[in-house]
Structure 1
């Protein structure tokens, strides 16, 4: 059996129902017939909601329609089910907070390269490529919620576990935190892309849980490193100040040396300096005679 056969059977049943209604109408049973017809028709229809794409599955024959269904109403005869996959961006968070999406702890557990147990909430945003939606169903044979809870969660967890096992806790909690989740994202994207599950982003949904004693050690080390950096900065500043003073002293000494050499080779410089500093007053007397000032030709 195929979809065409199922739909043809449905149409035959509907035509038979119409003949029965006409017969009932002749016998005064029109109202009952209309109600019965409404029940039959409603039970044979399914709707694909806006923002989704539909996959028609024949549960009796085990067939999957190769073409995705757009938004609208479709005939779904007995034995037929239409699964819906989102074509718009959806987000799911695996968290240990019981007040959010699940009452159970769904956070991820993993270990660093030394076997230290760590824990984190992780979120994913995704959508389905409508052209590949039938391929996605053929791969997993279930709805979107089950894919997220099973294959998606497993793929992300495995990617995080694999990369985290190559890093120390200080790296995971520190400078490799972003790199770890980005590496997991790239691996998950590559894994699901062929079946049309487009993973837009995988990201930490909170801080990485580290044992208190380890966190204290990490914070103490960070504080020590910051203090060391501050001390190095102070030393560098002091060294720079000392070097500046030495350079200034060397420059002053060099200037004096140059000036002394200039005076030795050219005595007129002394007279020129005296003229530059003269305030315009004549020399005053001291002792028995005037203080000599400048020789005037």
Structure 2
């Protein structure tokens, strides 16, 4: 009886030892190592515990987004320089740190493993890195260094991202982003030359903007002066017109008064008498008439 119990316990221990866990946030794929069923089991294992026999191996794949960087820096998880080098159209060598963010479609995990025969770490550091490097070398080979270093930097990494995305999307890997980490590393002499040219261009643009500003200000001053001159001219015209109208009115009044006096002799005599002070002239020219006195 004790012997049987011991065998049962031993069996349970062996059975427990053969159980493997698929943790939360992951899926698993079982691979048969030997026999007629050798190969990848197409059944995707969701989180839980599964018996894995001596002829089987379990590979885990995360269902959440993965982020990885390949840099020049030496780190515990990266004991060597993993930065990527590429050449430009002129043949200049450039080194860069690059990152990638991607996710594996859970329902295509078996397809991914069947394609690469590796786990997620090896897929990232071998296959995806090689794809990024090859895409970068291809895209940069048609660009000049000034384009790569300057405004074309974003365009270049976007081309790389699209190339890699198209290569793996049908397999079951979704590339979310490929990006630069920090600045590109160029020979110091090339960097100095490019920076000097950029600075010269910026100074030239600043001078051009200053000239445009001065021209605009001059045009404003000219318009302002013209406006003031036009205003003065209009004022002078108005004053001249006013004087003219006033003169014409006065002349008209004089003419009207003269006509009235000419047509009414008695009125003339009345006005003259009203203005006479009653004194006779002290001297008279022979033959002249005495004012207001009619001699019969």
TM-score bin, normalised by smaller chain = 0.7 to 0.9
Please list the CA deviations of residues 113-148 of structure 1 after superposition, one character each: whole Å capped at 9, or x if unmatched: 111100111111122111111111111112111111
Task: Find the counterpart in structure 2 of residue 167 from structure 1.
Answer: 143
Are 2:229 and 1:253 equivalent residues in the alignment? Answer: yes
- 1:42 aligns with one of 16, 28, 32: 16
Q: Which moved more, 1:163-172 or 1:246-255?
A: 246-255
Secondary structure at 1:205 match in 2: strand
Q: How does 1:92-103 map to 2 (within 5 A)?
A: 92-99=68-75, 101-103=77-79
Q: Aligned partners of 2:204, 2:245: CA distance in 1, in Å?
A: 55
- 1:121 aligns with one of 80, 97, 106: 97
Answer yes or no: is the 8 Å Cα contact 1:263–1:269 preserved in 2. no
Query: Structure 1 207/150 Cα, relative in aligned 2: closer, same or farther at 3 Å?
Result: same
Q: Aligned partners of 2:76, 2:86: CA distance in 1, in Å?
A: 22
- 1:72 aligns with one of 48, 53, 61: 48
Secondary structure at 1:78 match in 2: coil
Answer yes or no: is the 8 Å Cα contact 1:93–1:101 preserved in 2. no
Task: Find the counterpart in structure 2 of residue 203 from structure 1.
Answer: 179
Q: Which 5+ residue runs of structure 1 have no aligned equivalent? A: 1-25, 272-297
- 1:58 aligns with one of 22, 32, 39: 32
Answer yes or no: is the 8 Å Cα contact 1:54–1:84 preserved in 2. yes
Q: How does 1:205-220 map to 2 (within 5 A)?
A: 205-220=181-196
Task: Find the counterpart in structure 2 of residue 110 from structure 1.
Answer: 86
Q: How does 1:128-143 map to 2 (within 5 A)?
A: 128-143=104-119
In the TM superposition, residue 63 of structure 1 has moved relative to its aligned partner by 2.3
Q: In angstroms, what is the RMSD of aligned CA positions?
A: 2.0
Figure out how many residues of one structure are paired with residues of the other and give that number.
245
TM-score of the superposed pair, with normalisation by structure 1: 0.77
In the TM superposition, residue 151 of structure 1 has moved relative to its aligned partner by 1.4
Q: Which runs of 4+ in 1 moved over 4 A?
A: 268-271
Query: Structure 1 39/264 Cα, relative in aligned 2: closer, same or farther at 3 Å?
Result: same
Q: Aligned partners of 1:245, 1:131: CA distance in 2, in Å?
A: 72
Are 2:7 and 1:33 equivalent residues in the alignment? Answer: yes
Query: Structure 1 268/72 Cα, relative in aligned 2: closer, same or farther at 3 Å?
Result: same
Q: Aligned partners of 1:80, 1:107: CA distance in 2, in Å?
A: 36
- 2:200 aligns with one of 202, 217, 224: 224
Query: Structure 1 100/242 Cα, relative in aligned 2: closer, same or farther at 3 Å?
Result: farther
Secondary structure at 2:108 match in 1: helix
Query: Structure 1 100/241 Cα, relative in aligned 2: closer, same or farther at 3 Å?
Result: farther
